Chain A
Amino acid sequence: MRKSHALMVYTASLILLGVGFVLPLLMAIRGGFLNPDGGLSFAYLRGVFQNPIYVEGLLNSLRLALGTTLVATVIALPLAWISTRYHFFGKGVLTALLLVPMILPPFVGAIGFQQIFGVYGSLNSVLGWNIDWLGQGRWMGVVVLQALSLYPVLYLNLSASMANIDHAMEEAAQNLGANAWHRFRRITVPLMMPGWFAGGSIVFIWAFTELGTPLIMNYTRCASVQVFDALKEVGDNPFPFALVCVMLLLSVSLYSLSKLLLGRQHYAMQNKAGTSFEERRVRGPLACLLMLPFVLVISIALLPHVGVLLTSVASPGSWYQTLLPQEWTWQHYEEALGHSMTLSSIRNSLIFSCSAVAVNLLLGIGIAFVVVRSSLRGRHVLDTLAMLPLAVPGLVLASGYLALSSLISHSAWAKANEELFRFLDIRQNPALFLVLAYSVRRLPYMVRSAVAGLQQSSSSLEEAAANVGAAPSVSLRKITMPLITANLIAGALLAFSFSMLEVSDSLMLAQRQEFYPITKTIYELFQRIGGGVFLASALGVWAMLFLAVTLIGSSLLLGRKLGALFRV
């Protein structure tokens, strides 16, 4: 890559990330430290820790995150262990199905979850009991739901790092007298720690700041919901921003810690000469035994969504203290898809997501080229900056956008040119900020995907093209692009499906009904008394089907490489 081009792309991406990511981040932080008179103040930050409600919210969020990470680990570890060591009939299909929950929005699943596990739900009607499975305070319910949708991130990381361990490492231990348990504890676990930490920190941050699931489960005493509720209020209340600062600080420190550990332990993957794992082929009873955890996890993970599906076809009032709905109907789909709010939200989501993917592709390819193919001194800064959104909760970014927009719309300049600056006022038109939010938050996946593609296609291929007379633009078009297309498409599909189901930014930024994306519409419908739940479920089912198709598409394209996208 020529230096001047690299410098151009570098500057452009830096500016875009600066405006779309760093600036709102600073705005959110500023909101937590700004006095009404414009001075710096730590009073709000102190206030957060002095207010028992906020402290409880933060502690609850931490418990949610810890619980979710633990449960997700318990689910993912045995699955990863089995899948790296054994081969059995149907393994390919099962491991693919294992990833499906990742794209099913847990907050939609929460609707079905309550139908099944509620006091008057299916489970109790089968057992004839009267237990509230979701428990007092619903903490366990939120943890389980989140873990059931986030375990694939851990599974992908764990199995990638297990597959990377030189098999001879374990054989050496066995040779020196270590039995299976000692090998697992002393060799395998320490060697896959970086993978666990990489996946675990993503899961932890995700669960720590998740907004949709606690909202629908009506678990209001956690920090994310508190921020959401406080920001809904009119007026410039600084406390939610201070709370956001605390969450950001926690997330970023955890993320940095994982990067640090990963950087230090990354040698674990350097021993390449050894034998890789031989997957043991098994049949018969053992194969069935190994399949069991997969089937179990998949069916439990899909259970909430089955609940949503059933809700969407149940006649109102026909699913109460019974295993299944007693009367079926298609009416909700007709109603939901005929509803003006749903139709416009589908259109909105498609427009926002497609624009976000376009921005992502452009930025992702540009950044990947600079990082992999140039020798610019600051290229690692760009790489780090592009990955940083993984550490920044959507909630934080959304509040930053809100603060930024309110600052702009209150400025004299904007007031004088109201027409011109309308699209910068979130209350009037959130489209620009939603697209920005979607693209920035999914940029890490796109960049990883493009970088992986470029690293796999050696630059000597481009040099060979140049050597036989191809201009840089020609070799880019004819050699490089075709080689990384699969990665780009997969990254784009992933960014697209995540954008379609993005919750926190969507709920917080879209404030006028005409701009609601799908997730906000589902939430609004869900809150309506009467048939709202059914319409929300019908729309949720539609969205899940739509996304299932995208995921299958991307997994077909990338195969096992899909896992690489979820590594920090």
Chain B
Amino acid sequence: MPVPLQIQDLVKHFGKTRAVDHVHLEIEAGELFFLLGPSGCGKTTLLRCIAGFHQPDEGKILLGSSDITRMAPHLRDTGMVFQSYALWPHMTVFQNVAFGLEMRKCSRSEIQKRVREALATVQLSDQAQKKPNQLSGGQQQRVALARALVIQPRVLLLDEPLSNLDAKLRLEMRAEIRRICKDAGLTAVYVTHDQKEALSVADRVALMNQGVVEQVGTPQELYQQPRSVFSAGFIGETNFLDARILSVERGRFTLATPIGEMESSSAVPEGTVLGDPVTLSIRPEAFRLDEVPEGMPNCYDAMVHDSIYLGETAQHQVLVGEDPGFNLKVFDLNPRIIAREGSAPARLWVERRDVIMLPPSGSASRPGSSQ
């Protein structure tokens, strides 16, 4: 039965570094929950705390209604898929999958039945008697998944399960893992550094940075309503502009920016008052170069240069504002203007709701906006 998982105020130190820093998460029963972040952000440490391989220094982990914070790993009923798969090379595929059931003292006939079902779920029924090293990377991955699933864990833990696969297999397995988790109704925690994986598979995502949870939300919320410069920069590409709030009227903010005045209808960061500095995040695809609709406030004269033409889209560098101008990155769908050499004049515009206001931050700490 799927159960909810609660992480309460968890802290884990390694020497002096704080790998997990007061993390608080509530994961619902049956939810496919992602921990996303750059390497070293503490996501794997958090996962290993849930599995019991790390002992947290502070805080609690609740699985269903039981506190498992100090419970030994082998009593937790968490099925984990390891990054290296950790398939035991001296056992066959069948024996690997059966191991957890043997530990649970299941009868021989039940083991037979459940292992066969689990292998069928991952489409490996005909490979049961092979040794792991006779399988391809994708098949090994499936065995690891079957081994974790067969014990019907209270929560499934996946530690970068696709990082050792090639790009094509990764795409296949993404969908496969989501299908399997949803079919089994599993509560699952999935660690990855691949934002595309997280956006395409997750129910909800916790974005982590330096041990801290930056933001929790659905993939759409995370992309469209980032709440920090880090969130906006880590997921997708974006343009950052330093701005100041000039006035507000019925949820519409007027802002002073390096490219002139701009209006925004997005949520304002907590505790911000008139005159405060904010950082604006505007996605490259939110900027438009086509015909300006009537009454559109955020319109600017611009020079398009260094276009990269990709057929259905083009990626431009666009200079806006007084000389020398402010450089923006713009993705243009169904592009009309292409400036490979020299530059072309154009009108640049953006809708109010696509101008996202974030708490200000020094430009030094921004993650690369050009990834």
Binding site for B on A (CB under 8 A): 166, 168-169, 171-179, 182, 186-187, 190-191, 193, 265, 267-268, 270-275
Give the distance in Å from the alpha carbon of A193 to the alpha carbon of B89 in the complex: 12
| Chain A nearest Cβ from B275, distance in angstroms | 51
| Chain A nearest Cβ from B364, distance in angstroms | 33
Q: A175-B73, A175-B79, A270-B133 are in contact. Are A182 and B86 (CB under 8 A)?
A: no
For the complex, is B113 an interface residue (Cβ under 8 Å from A)?
A: no
- Count: A-B pairs, CB below 8 Å: 88
Nearest-CB residue, chain A, relative to B163: A273
For the complex, is B207 an interface residue (Cβ under 8 Å from A)?
A: no
CB neighbors of A among B196-211 (8 A): none
For the complex, is B100 an interface residue (Cβ under 8 Å from A)?
A: yes
| Chain B nearest Cβ from A351, distance in angstroms | 49
Q: A166-B86, A187-B88 are in contact. Are A178 and B147 (CB under 8 A)?
A: no
CB neighbors of A among B38-86 (8 A): 51-53, 72-80, 82-86
Nearest-CB residue, chain B, relative to A273: B84
Contacts of B83 in A (CB 8 A): 168, 273-274
Contacts of B72 in A (CB 8 A): 179
Contacts of B78 in A (CB 8 A): 175
Known: A177-B100, A191-B90. 19 other contacts (CB 8 A): A168-B83, A169-B86, A172-B86, A172-B87, A173-B88, A174-B73, A175-B80, A176-B147, A176-B151, A177-B103, A186-B99, A191-B89, A265-B89, A267-B131, A268-B89, A268-B90, A271-B84, A271-B87, A274-B86
For the complex, is B104 an interface residue (Cβ under 8 Å from A)?
A: yes
Is A172 in contact with B90, judged by CB distance below 8 angstroms? no
CB neighbors of A among B79-113 (8 A): 79-80, 82-90, 99-100, 103-104
Give the distance in Å from the alpha carbon of A271 to the alpha carbon of B135 in the complex: 13
How big is chain B's contact interface, by range? 20 to 34
For the complex, is B334 an interface residue (Cβ under 8 Å from A)?
A: no
Is B82 in contact with A274, judged by CB distance below 8 angstroms? yes
Digit string of B131-142 for contact with A (CB within 8 Å is 1, else 0)?
A: 101000000000
| Chain B nearest Cβ from A156, distance in angstroms | 22
Is A171 in contact with B100, judged by CB distance below 8 angstroms? no
Is A274 in contact with B84, judged by CB distance below 8 angstroms? yes
For the complex, is B164 an interface residue (Cβ under 8 Å from A)?
A: yes
Is A271 in contact with B100, judged by CB distance below 8 angstroms? no
User: What are the 4 closest A-B residue pairs judged by CB atoms, nearest first?
Assistant: A176-B100, A274-B84, A168-B86, A177-B103
Is A177 in contact with B80, judged by CB distance below 8 angstroms? no
| CB contact between B74 and one of A178, A193, A274, A275 (< 8 Å): that residue | A178
Consensus secondary structure, chain B interface: loop
| Chain B nearest Cβ from A355, distance in angstroms | 45
Is B88 in contact with A270, judged by CB distance below 8 angstroms? no
| CB contact between B90 and one of A168, A190, A270 (< 8 Å): that residue | A190
Nearest-CB residue, chain B, relative to A183: B74
Nearest-CB residue, chain B, relative to A268: B89
Is A174 in contact with B90, judged by CB distance below 8 angstroms? no
Is B88 in contact with A169, judged by CB distance below 8 angstroms? yes
15 A-B pairs (CB sep. < 8 Å): A168-B82, A171-B51, A171-B73, A174-B53, A175-B73, A176-B99, A177-B74, A177-B77, A177-B104, A178-B74, A179-B72, A186-B99, A270-B133, A273-B164, A274-B84
Nearest-CB residue, chain B, relative to A265: B90
| Chain B nearest Cβ from A342, distance in angstroms | 53
Is B103 in contact with A182, judged by CB distance below 8 angstroms? yes
Is A171 in contact with B82, judged by CB distance below 8 angstroms? yes
Q: A171-B53, A267-B133, A270-B133 are in contact. Are A178 and B103 (CB under 8 A)?
A: yes
Give the distance in Å from the alpha carbon of A172 to the alpha carbon of B151 in the complex: 13
Is A173 in contact with B99, judged by CB distance below 8 angstroms? yes
Give the distance in Å from the alpha carbon of A48 to the alpha carbon of B89 in the complex: 43
Nearest-CB residue, chain B, relative to A172: B86
Is A271 in contact with B151, judged by CB distance below 8 angstroms? no
| Chain B nearest Cβ from A194, distance in angstroms | 10
Contacts of A267 in B (CB 8 A): 89, 131, 133
Q: A191-B89, A271-B89 are in contact. Are A172 and B147 (CB under 8 A)?
A: yes
| CB contact between A177 and one of B82, B90, B151 (< 8 Å): that residue | B151
Q: A182-B103, A186-B99, A267-B133 are in contact. Are A175 and B90 (CB under 8 A)?
A: no
Give the distance in Å from the alpha carbon of A193 to the alpha carbon of B90 in the complex: 10
Nearest-CB residue, chain B, relative to A194: B90
Contacts of A174 in B (CB 8 A): 52-53, 73-74
Q: A267-B89, A268-B89 are in contact. Are A171 and B104 (CB under 8 A)?
A: no
Contacts of A179 in B (CB 8 A): 72, 74
Give the distance in Å from the alpha carbon of A265 to the alpha carbon of B99 in the complex: 20
Give the distance in Å from the alpha carbon of A168 to the alpha carbon of B44 in the complex: 13
Contacts of A190 in B (CB 8 A): 88, 90
Is A176 in contact with B103, judged by CB distance below 8 angstroms? yes
Give the distance in Å from the alpha carbon of A46 to the alpha carbon of B77 in the complex: 62
Give the distance in Å from the alpha carbon of A113 to the alpha carbon of B88 in the complex: 45
| Chain A nearest Cβ from B205, distance in angstroms | 24
| Chain A nearest Cβ from B45, distance in angstroms | 12
Nearest-CB residue, chain A, relative to B160: A273
Is B133 in contact with A178, judged by CB distance below 8 angstroms? no
Contacts of B104 in A (CB 8 A): 177
Nearest-CB residue, chain B, relative to A169: B86
| Chain B nearest Cβ from A165, distance in angstroms | 10
| Chain A nearest Cβ from B195, distance in angstroms | 22
Give the distance in Å from the alpha carbon of A189 to the alpha carbon of B100 in the complex: 18
Give the distance in Å from the alpha carbon of A173 to the alpha carbon of B148 in the complex: 10
Give the distance in Å from the alpha carbon of A187 to the alpha carbon of B76 in the complex: 19
Contacts of A193 in B (CB 8 A): 90
Is A175 in contact with B74, judged by CB distance below 8 angstroms? yes
Contacts of B151 in A (CB 8 A): 176-177
Q: A270-B89, A273-B84 are in contact. Are A176 and B79 (CB under 8 A)?
A: yes
Give the distance in Å from the alpha carbon of A174 to the alpha carbon of B88 in the complex: 13
Give the distance in Å from the alpha carbon of A172 to the alpha carbon of B88 in the complex: 9
Contacts of A178 in B (CB 8 A): 74, 99, 103
Give the distance in Å from the alpha carbon of A168 to the alpha carbon of B148 in the complex: 14
Contacts of B100 in A (CB 8 A): 176-177
Give the distance in Å from the alpha carbon of A275 to the alpha carbon of B44 in the complex: 12
Give the distance in Å from the alpha carbon of A176 to the alpha carbon of B149 in the complex: 10
Contacts of A191 in B (CB 8 A): 88-90
Nearest-CB residue, chain B, relative to A272: B84
Contacts of A274 in B (CB 8 A): 82-84, 86
Looking at A174, A268, A272, the one whose CB has the most chain B CB atoms below 10 A away is A174
| Chain B nearest Cβ from A85, distance in angstroms | 14
